[in-house]
Amino acid sequence: MEKSEKIPLQKILIICSKANIEDVYAALVMGNGAVMEGIETKIFFTFFGLDAITKKQMNKLHTATVGNPGMRMPGGLAFPTLLGALPGVEAGVSAMMKKQMDALDIPPVDEFLELITAGGGEIYACKLAMDMFKLTKDDLHEEVSDVITVGDLYEMCDGPGTQIVFT
């Protein structure tokens, strides 16, 4: 049996649909890494992920403390979901996470968007979600290339060597 030839990754489409710090930064880190590797990169923000590219919300992202099985307390113990529901806990955990990110020199969302587009990556907003949330292009960060439909996005990403990643 002949081994099939592997097609190298040429294009990547990253879809971000959530506005918590961990999902937004996963999309941004993967997108920036792809750009740095010379891979054609498009990041599509939809539904609550739009908060990451909306000027009024992009610097107010939080960590999900309720229902997050990956949350750990100091010492490695699981973070009790009930604790995350208490007033101020989510804000405190989010502030701690942002402080750790600052210590690692991880840029804020707006700077990350600039890095990605400066490297040739493209940032898009979902037209359906924009309409649902009554947002306009003026509400979005200037690094957003356009507001497009899912069909438009898929047309941009056709061909061999394309990978779609959903965060």
- pLDDT category at 45 given cuts 50, 70, 90 is very high
Identify any residues that bridge with 92 across adjacent strands, giving them in sequence order.
none
Q: pLDDT of 5-32, one tens digit each?
A: 777 788 999 999 999 888 999 999 999 9
> What structural domains does the chain harbor?
11-59+108-166 (3.40.1260.10)
How far is the C-alpha of 162 from the C-alpha of 70, rounded, in Å?
29
Identify any residues that bridge with 152 across adjacent strands, giving them in sequence order.
none
Sheet holding 162-166, edge to edge: 144-148, 122-126, 40-45, 11-16, 162-166
**Are 14 and 153 within 8 A, CB to CB?**
no
Q: pLDDT of 60-93, one tens digit each?
A: 887 876 666 666 666 766 676 666 666 777 777 7
Answer yes or no: is pLDDT of 109 > 60: yes
How far is the C-alpha of 11 from the C-alpha of 121, rounded, in Å?
10
Give the HSE-up count for residue 141: Cα atoms under 13 Å, Cβ half-sphere.
24
Q: pLDDT of 130-163, one tens digit each?
A: 999 999 999 999 999 999 999 999 888 777 778 8
